[in-house]
Amino acid sequence: MPARIRRDDEVILIGGKDRGKRGKVMRVDPAKARVYVEGLNMIKRHQRPTQTMSGQQAGGVIEREGPIHLSNVALIDPADGKPTRVGIEIVDGKRLRVAKRSGRRLD
């Protein structure tokens, strides 16, 4: 089954601590059904300084995006900017994603 939400899609959070915020999908992990959205679900990681081939990597508290379950995000419809579900339309033997709200193609 093709992914309903892909990298570079604009999404809105419909659940969790950042509910209502929008962002761009940076990464999708289909095996765990998770997405990483730019600037949302920020987590703090305490990292110790490490020595690498290219030099010293700084340690300290690093903030980065945490995973969000797919059920907590909705794709934004390009027509009106509101959340929509995603359908699949077959055109010339190819599967294309379609916004259920407006019927516009997403690919």
What does the pLDDT read at residue 5?
92
> What pTM, to 2 d.p., does this model score?
0.83
| Residue at 101 is within a domain | no
Alpha-carbon span 75 to 82, nearest angstrom: 8
In a domain, 26, yes or no: yes
Residue 64 lies in a domain: yes
**For residue 14, is it within any domain?**
yes
> Domain of 43?
10-48+59-81
Going residue by residue through the chain (107 aa), what tens digit of pLDDT does each one get?
557 899 999 999 999 899 999 999 999 999 999 999 999 999 999 988 888 887 788 889 999 999 999 999 999 999 999 999 999 999 999 999 999 999 999 87
pLDDT of residue 2: 59
Q: How far is CA 71 from CA 14, 15, 33, 46, 65, in A?
A: 8, 8, 8, 28, 17
63 located within any domain: yes
Q: Report if residue 86 sits inside a domain.
A: no
Residue 107's pLDDT is what? 74
CATH of the domain at 24: 2.30.30.30
- DSSP for 32-60, written as a single string: TTEEEETTSSEEEEEE--EEETTEEEP-E
Q: How many domains does the chain have?
A: 1
Indicate the length of the chain as a whole number: 107
Longest dimension (CA), the chain: 54
